[in-house]
Structure 1
């Protein structure tokens, strides 16, 4: 680390939701309405902030780039009580961030697997923007396993466009089915699309061993830590990142459920070698998201 609670220069957080103060009541209402077993950060120096202040915090903590999932313009809300579109950053909002602060923000466009080829064309159009660096599937909004046919056109698009496919793996936080999020569901897609890089976000909990097995088996499957601060990483994940998974794990916060200041301080507490910390906090993300190089050059 570059200092107490500070990330190595060039660090990346692959999953940050809408972070401005006006979204705090939206988050709290969505959590209450959906019965989510999560909290949002409320401490002032690690919680919601206006964009200028958020960038200043990134500077202070050594974070170069954060990636924001966003819904394409004109997309209908998913048929799910978890109000993901309200807590995710809006398309125009992310576009403004990416243009105003080039290199500091990137977008992950969220596919609609129920929309057929119209949805694929919409995502393809979004990928024409250089600041859109990958796809993010809020898996439980659609209740489709990862090997469902509706996802395959998006996997093919990721292969063609050389962008990764990030998906929420594991149990749903709200009162919706969780089976669709089992990490083993990526087994066939990873075989069928060897050029597509898959990121199993949220550690795949409670099926962490499945997620680790997929990341060990496939060179194109990676593990993302979003929503789990380092002190909550299971022993199996810590052993993985110290051993065969050093270059297979990406740091993510799922902000505002995890604050950057707190999470980065906890990374120090793991006692990882400096080269491992550098990989987890940015090096692996830059290999998984090649478009980040273009953001850095902007």
Structure 2
């Protein structure tokens, strides 16, 4: 087994990053406080920041590209609801600006609203025509719809047509949200109907991680993502899957600000936390698997892999 390089990450891709811009920090804290969540978040070097500072952080941590999640802003009637995911997501114009200023470093996925019918599908189609947009996304627990709900069918068909992935939060969510909608078994029927569409079950599928692993094993087009779960909290069954039959089926994500990029670099440099992972496994997990799923992501102008 080859040892990990130093630094351990090179050309890494974070497939799920919420807004890191300073103006979102207060909204994130309001949501945590309102839901009574007890989150121990490491901020050492992973503070909210402007784009230029984030690029410096990514360079220092071994990351090439962030996949940011975009939504519309909350409506006027929703501004007082701190639970809304829209408060902590990016705006399309913010990602467009970041992408133009730092080519290859920032891309995005458009988070769909399955309650909007044909208008929502048309909006998603328009977003996928933007150069920064590399896929679609579902903040599952905002809508209380299983992955096999008919409201998602047209979005899945659009992704299959455009050859882009669909990312969804699987498992339970912290706070005051419905949970059963995130059960991984909801992906079975869509995966069968759309064999060419790459699905990413995010957030490890906890507490149904074993079922999520079984589905990623059963279907070639179903992948797992680790967003919001730091390396030190990965369950043994996930670690075994990553080191063994799932080497090409798991993507690293931060879920920033729940976890961060400096934190990831520190944890991947810890030999105890990476026990069982050789250099190729880490490269697959943090870079190559994401490039195989998000085929629109290109190498940044100043590539970390050069």
**Shorter-chain TM-score: which interval?**
over 0.9
Give structure 2 stretches of 5+ with no counterpart: none
Does structure 2 conserve the Cα–Cα contact (< 8 Å) formed by 1:201 and 1:224?
A: yes
Aligned equivalent of 1:149 = 150
Contact 2:73/2:87 (<8 A) preserved: no
Aligned to 1:274: 279
**Could you state the TM-score of these two structures normalised by the residue count of structure 2?**
0.91
Between 102-111 and 258-267, the greater mean CA deviation after superposition: 258-267
1:287 aligns with 2:292: yes
Q: Find the aligned partners of 2:193 and 2:238 in 1 and give their Cα distance.
A: 26
SS in 2 for 1:15: strand
How many Å separate the matches in 2 of 1:194 and 1:296? 33
Residues in 2 aligned to 1:165 and 1:75: alpha-carbon distance in whole angstroms: 25
1:81–1:186 distance in 2 versus 1, CA, 3 Å: farther
C-alpha distance in 2 between matches for 1:296 and 1:190:
35
Q: How does 1:4-19 map to 2 (within 5 A)?
A: 4=7, 6-8=8-10, 10-19=11-20
TM superposition shift of 1:42? 3.0
Alpha-carbon offset, residue 147 of structure 1: 0.5
Distance (whole Å) between structure 1 residues aligned to residue 112 and residue 260 of structure 2: 26
- Aligned pairs, number: 295
- How far the C-alpha of 1:36 sits from its partner, in A, is 3.4
Q: Is residue 71 of structure 1 aligned with residue 75 of structure 2? A: no
Shift of 1:208: 0.4
Q: Give matches, 1:217-228, under 5 Å.
A: 217-228=218-229
Deviation at residue 11 of structure 1 after TM alignment = 1.1
- The 5 Å alignment of 1:4-43 reads 4=7, 6-8=8-10, 10-43=11-44
Is structure 2 residue 6 aligned with structure 1 residue 3?
yes
Shift in alpha-carbon separation, 1:81–1:142, aligned structure 2, 3 A: farther
Describe the SS at the equivalent of 1:115: helix
Q: Deviations over 1:182-223 (max 9, x none)?
A: 011101000011011000000000010111011000000000
Secondary structure of 1:67's match? strand
Distance 1:37 1:158, change over 3 A: farther
* Distance change >3 Å, CA 295–CA 198, structure 1 → 2: farther
The reply to whether residue 186 of structure 1 matches residue 191 of structure 2 is no
Provide Cα deviations, 1:206-242, integer angstroms capped at 9, x if missing partner.
0101110110000000000000011111000000011
Conservation of the 8 A alpha-carbon contact between 2:74 and 2:86 = no
